[in-house]
Amino acid sequence: MIAGPDDLVVTAWGARFMGRRLRCAVGRGGIDDKRGEGDRITPRGVWRLRQVWYRPDRVLPVRSAVPCRVIGVGDSWSDDPADPAYNRWCRARGTAGFSRELLRRADRMYDLVAVTDFNWCGAVPGAGSAIFLHVWRTPRYPTAGCVGFARPDLAWVLAHWAPRSRLVIGPV
């Protein structure tokens, strides 16, 4: 697979996008074929960004080719394979006893977050949920499988994202 000039290419050593090199963090399990929910692997492959979410009380809105939404109180993402809403946005945390991750967090990791299409449409329960681009905890600190960036770098990537851009996590 050949990456195009508008693609965000992520490796274990960093990322490149539109001629810029960026530091990033990947999953504690490295980049590999996804094995299942909770494996801490950043999945190798080619993905699209489907949504951008942001906290308006903490960051300015980003102009992006990707549809943007405000993160509200109670917004969450289902990471429970038994949940009928698995790997989708939900309004409440833990509804009907299912595990869901809050998007409006006390820390800054999800102040700005982009949702990829990994296991997105017709999600296979247990195959892995929610591979996000988000703000890293600290520089290069491993994620749970997402890709983390410094907030200014993530904002720059999203502002320069083109409709033809792809997320290439490799080598693929």
| pLDDT, tens digit (0-9, with 9 covering 90-100), for 146-156 | 999 999 999 99
Q: What is the residue extent of each domain of the chain?
A: 48-165
| Average pLDDT of the residues in 52-78 | 93
Phi, psi of 156 (to 5 degrees): -65, -45
Strand intervals (E) in 37-146: 42-43, 45-47, 49-54, 68-70, 76-78, 89-90, 100-102, 112-116, 132-135
In angstroms, rounded to a whole number, what is the distance separating the alpha carbons of residues 119 and 129? 7
Residue percentage of the chain with pLDDT more than 90: 79
CA quadruple 74, 43, 6, 77: dihedral, nearest 10: -10
Q: What is the pTM of this model?
A: 0.94
Could you tell me the pLDDT band of residue 172, with boundaries at 50, 70 and 90?
A: low
Q: What angle do CA 39, 45, 161 make, to 5 degrees?
A: 110
Residues forming beta bridges with residue 52, ordered by sequence position: 68, 114
Structure tokens at 58: 């903490």
Mean pLDDT, rounded, of the chain: 93
Residues 30-58: what's their mean pLDDT? 95
**Residue 94: pLDDT over 60:** no
For the chain, count helices (H), then strands (E): 1, 15
Q: β-strands 20-22, 14-17: how paired?
A: antiparallel
From start to end of 67-160, where are the E strands?
68-70, 76-78, 89-90, 100-102, 112-116, 132-135, 147-149
Sheet holding 147-149: strands in order across? 68-70, 49-54, 112-116, 132-135, 147-149
CA 86 to chain centre: 16
Helix (H) or strand (E) holding 11: strand 8-11
